[in-house]
Amino acid sequence: MKTNYLFVSIFAIVAVGIFSSCTKVITLDLKNSDPLYVVEGEVNKGELIHSVNITKSVKFSEVNNFPAVSGALVVLSDNAGNSEVLSEVSPGKYSSSSILGVEGRAYTLSVKIEGKEFVATSTVPQQVNLDYLYFLEGGFGGAGEKVPVPIRQDPAGISNFYRFNMSVSRFEENNGWENDSTILIQDDAFSDGLISQQPLFGSLGFFMPNDTCKLTMMCVDKNVYKYFYSLSLNSPNGAATPANPVSNFSGGCLGYFTAQTKQTVTVIVP
C-alpha cells in the first residue's frame, strides 16, 4: 500500500513540473509600478455570510503595509436573481448577509471605488468530498516524520481544482496553531476519476506523531486555480520572474474572487 502512495507522490511532483512549463506569466516592472487596488472575496457553499477585503498595494520599495480601502460600493449577485449591497463592517472589510452559496450557481462581485469598477464572476463547482487525511511516512532522515495526504475520489470526466489551507499544533512545543504559508493547490490532470493521493509539501515541513493537523480543502473553479498558480510563481521558491498574478477581475485590480466548496478536518497524527 505504501509503495502506491510513494509512486503517486513522485508522479504528482513530475506532473507539476510539466504543467508549470506551459504557463505564461506577464512580467511587471516592479520598481516603477503604481499602487493598485487589491480585492479578495469568497463565497462558500452553504453559507450566507461572505467577506470581501479591499486594500491598496504599495510600491516595490515600500514596506508591505497595505492600507485598507473604505467607502467602496460592493455588490454581490448570483444568476438566480439575488443581489445584495455589502456592508462595510470594519475598514476595508465588507460582508454580505443574505445570499446563500449554492453548488453550481454563478456569483458576480462588483466593486466601484473612485470612479473605477472591478468585476469578477465565479461558479461554485461540484463538491468533491475530502474522505480522510492520511499521513505518509517521510523517510527523509528523521524518525517518525510524516507528510499529510488528503484522500478523495476524483469525479471522472470533470476537470477539478483544489486549494488547501493547513495548520499544525505541535505536540512537543504546545505553542498553539501555526499556519502553513505555502500556496497549496492541486488539480486532477493525472488523477481524473481516481482516488487522489497527492501529498502536501508546505512550509510547515514534516509532521510528527501526536501533532494535530487542521486541513481545509476548497474546490475552486479553473480561473481561481490559475490565479493561485500564478501567485505561487512569485513565492521565494518560484521559478519565474515576479509578475502580476492572473486575476479573474476585469478593470485592472489585483486579487481574486472565488465561489467554492469548503471542508475542514482536524486529525491527530498517528
**pLDDT score of 125:** 98
**pLDDT score of 196:** 94
Cα–Cα dist 158/149, whole Å: 21
Query: Which pairs from 11-20 meet CB under 8 Å and 24+ separation?
Result: 11/190, 12/186, 12/190, 12/191, 12/198, 12/199, 15/189, 15/190, 19/187, 19/189, 20/233, 20/239
Q: Which CATH number fits domain 30-123: 1.10.760, 2.40.128, 3.40.1000, 2.60.40?
A: 2.60.40
Beta bridge partners of 212: 169, 268
CB 209 within 8 Å of CB 201:
no
The residue with greater pLDDT, 81 or 58, is: 81
pLDDT digits (tens, 9 = 90+) for 20-44: 444 445 454 545 567 899 999 999 9
pTM of the model: 0.83
Each domain of the chain, given as residue ranges in start order, spans: 2-24+126-247+259-268, 30-123
pLDDT digits (tens, 9 = 90+) for 230-245: 999 876 554 444 567 8
pLDDT digits (tens, 9 = 90+) for 99-127: 999 999 999 999 999 999 999 999 999 99
Cα–Cα dist 56/69, whole Å: 7
